Amino acid sequence: MSAGFEANRRYLTRLAYRMLGSLSDAEDVVQDAWLRWHAAGPLSVAQPRAWLAQVVTRLCLDLMKSARYRREAYVGGWLPEPLIERIGAAEPNEDGLDAPYALMLALERLSPLERAAFLLHDIFDRPFAELAETLGRSEAACRQLVSRARRHVRQDGARHALQPEEARRYASAFFEAAHSTDPTALRRMLAQDAILHTDGGGKVTATLNPIFGADRIGRFFAGLARKLEEAGLRPGLFQPVLIDGLPGYLSLERGDVVQATALDVREGRIAAIYVVRNPDKLGPARERLMAATAR
């Protein structure tokens, strides 16, 4: 009975994560779906993946009502909980599951139904007939939902997946440049219109608004580096990883603050930086970082 569910667990977890932006919430939803799967009698389900995706989507829509309220009360910028994988060891992306931070943030502008319709159809390639059954809408209404979502979600060009050594090189170079009191090296790595997003959730220090432009971002990191130098603090632990498919790293910053930094690289330059510092989103990241350094 469990084999059919376990074969789809990764797919369902990523679907729920893309809907909710929280890995812990996604895992709770998938566990709830597992209970419903067993209660329904799996042997009677003709299409397990479609049935389970429908259950997970509906559970996410229910949860998003309260999640959206929490977003409105969130302190500063909000970023999804980082989905972390080891560079060079990510599983093949068979299900169209790659949705980097730029898309995740764009999805935040959508209504829950628009978000579900867009993800199921454009990201997970599900037919409109299945969307109609899942969302309780007509196929025509689902087409309208997807069309409206597409108008709001402007994907700004294709990105190419970096080779593992290239991803590590970007992560290491950025870490070094971001901890230098001289902003020159960092500015050279950035696109002129680069943007920096940070998320502290009101729990740790972070910028309340994004920072735009290579020059301002360079000055920002150089200023932080000077403060650390004056306080006698050196850069902490560092581990290159993939974060939502983007090259990046986990680090221990300013004493004991775990940080996940993701880099969106376009045409050889870093176009966007996503820094998650909210400790509520970094429990697994802390465990991973400490385990790696203990080896």
Same domain flag for 188 and 290: yes
Residues 122 and 191 in one domain: no
Per-residue pLDDT tens digits for 282-293: 988 888 888 876
The answer to the question of residue 40 being in a domain is yes
Q: What is the pLDDT of residue 295?
A: 63
How many Å apart are CA 105 and CA 78, to the nearest integer?
A: 8
Helix, strand or coil, per DSSP, at residue 125: coil
Contact between residue 277 and residue 263 where contact means Cβ atoms under 8 Å apart: no
162/291 Cα distance (integer angstroms): 25
Do 154 and 109 contact (CB within 8 A), yes or no?
no
Looking at the structure of the chain, the number of domains it has is: 3
What residues make up the domain containing 113?
A: 98-153
pLDDT value for 157: 52
Judgement on whether residues 137 and 203 belong to the same structural domain of the protein: no
Say whether both 174 and 145 belong to one domain: no
Name which of 158, 161, 219, 164 is nearest 190 in CA terms. 219
Residue 158 lies inside a defined structural domain of this protein: no
> Which of 153, 177, 194 is the last residue before a domain boundary?
153
45 Cβ neighbours under 8 A, 6+ residues apart: 4, 37, 51
279 and 171 in a single domain? The answer is yes
Low-confidence residues of the chain: pLDDT under 50: 90, 92, 96-97
**Cα gap 289→293, rounded to integer Å:** 6
| CATH number of the domain enclosing 126 | 1.10.10
pLDDT at residue 231 in the model: 82
Same domain (yes/no): 222, 133: no
| Residue 175 and residue 58 share a domain | no
Token pair in block for residue 92: 């093949």
Residues 206, 274 share a domain: yes
| Residue 89 belongs to a domain | no
Tell me the pTM.
Answer: 0.87
- Cα dihedral 178, 194, 71, 286 sign: negative
Tell me 136's DSSP state: T
pLDDT tens-place string over residues 127-138: 999 999 999 999
pLDDT of residue 158: 54
Which helix (H) or strand (E) segment holds residue 242: the answer is: strand 238-243
**Rounded CA gap, 164 and 172, in Å?**
12
Cα 61 to Cα 59: distance, rounded to the nearest angstrom: 5
Residues facing residue 211 across a β-bridge? 196
CATH number at residue 35: 1.10.1740
What are the backbone dihedrals phi and psi of residue 199, each rounded to the nearest 5 degrees, phi first? Answer: -135, 110
DSSP assignments along 81-127, one per residue: PP-EE-TT-PPP-TT-----HHHHHHHTTS-HHHHHHHIIIIIT---
Q: Judge whether 82 lies within some domain.
A: no
**Phi, psi of 274, deg, nearest 5:** -120, 115
pLDDT at residue 96, rounded to an integer? 45
Q: Tokens 């919430």 — which residue?
A: 25
- Do 202 and 136 belong together in one domain? no
Same domain, 171 and 55: no
In a domain, 73, yes or no: yes
